[in-house]
Amino acid sequence: MKHILVLLTLALAIGCASMQSVMDSWIGQPEAKLLERYGAPDLQTTLPNGSRIYTWKRLWEDSRGMSQIGRQNFTVNSNGVITATTYQNLPKAIPGGTADHYSAFPVKRRG
Over residues 19-32, mean pLDDT: 89
For the whole model, what pTM was predicted?
Answer: 0.63
In this predicted structure, the answer to whether residue 37 has a pLDDT above a threshold of 90 is yes
Q: Tens digit of pLDDT for each residue in 47-105? A: 999 999 999 987 767 677 777 788 899 999 999 999 999 988 776 654 443 344 444 44
Give the residue, 21 or 110, on which the prediction is more confident. 21
Q: Give the long-range contacts of residues 13-22, CB within 8 A, separation 24 or more.
A: 14/63, 14/64, 15/62, 15/63, 15/64, 15/66, 15/68, 16/89, 18/62, 18/63, 19/60, 19/62, 19/68, 19/87, 20/87
Give the number of C-alpha atoms closer than 13 A to the C-alpha of residue 101, restricted to the C-beta side: 16
Classify domain 2-104 at the CATH topology level: Beta-lactamase Inhibitory Protein; Chain:B, domain 1 (3.30.1450)
Report the run of H or E that residue 58 belongs to, with start and end. Answer: strand 52-61
Give the residue, 40 or 94, on which the prediction is more confident. 40
